[in-house]
Amino acid sequence: MGNGELGNLVDERSSEVDERSSEVDERSSKVDERSSKVDERSSEVDERSSEVDERSSKVDERSSEVDERSSEVINQSLILLVPLSPHPPLPTPHSLIPHSPLPTPSSPLMSLQNLFRSRFINQMK
């Protein structure tokens, strides 16, 4: 192999290396491009995530307000239910009339109620 042939072979290989080098550069730039797109999307996700966090904290605030208002309403309701004075409750009509007991399961009134109830249920079927 002479110097001329060796020079041609070196030139050939050099151009192959240059080609492959440019291919690598192309692929590298594509990777960089995709990387920047990923970074872009990642920052969008971060933005949306912070928006969600803001909304979530607003919801938490409103929920706390609702809890406070609910406890206020419950407290006011309890105040209304608690008697204002320590006197015993007024007598009920049943306690005023000694001979009017509430119906028991074996009383005639209860039997009539059960009869009417069962007839009504049967009619509904």
Give 55-74 pLDDT, tens digit per residue.
999 999 999 999 999 888 88
Q: Which region among 21-30, 71-80, 116-125 has the lowest average model confidence (pLDDT)?
A: 116-125
Mean pLDDT in residue range 14-18: 95
**Higher pLDDT residue, 46 or 82?**
46
pTM, full prediction: 0.43
**How confident is the model at residue 93, as a pLDDT?**
56
Other beta carbons less than 10 A from residue 110's beta carbon: 13
- Give CA torsion, residues 44, 49, 50, 54, to 10 deg: 140
What b/e readout covers 33-57, taking b as 16+ CB neighbours within 10 angstroms? eeeeeeeeeeeeeeeeeeeeeeeee
**Higher pLDDT residue, 112 or 19?**
19
Is residue 79 predicted with pLDDT exceeding 90?
Answer: no
The average confidence (pLDDT) of the chain is: 81
Is residue 110 predicted with pLDDT exceeding 70?
Answer: no
Mean pLDDT in residue range 21-42: 97
Distance between CA 42 and CA 49 in Å, rounded?
A: 10
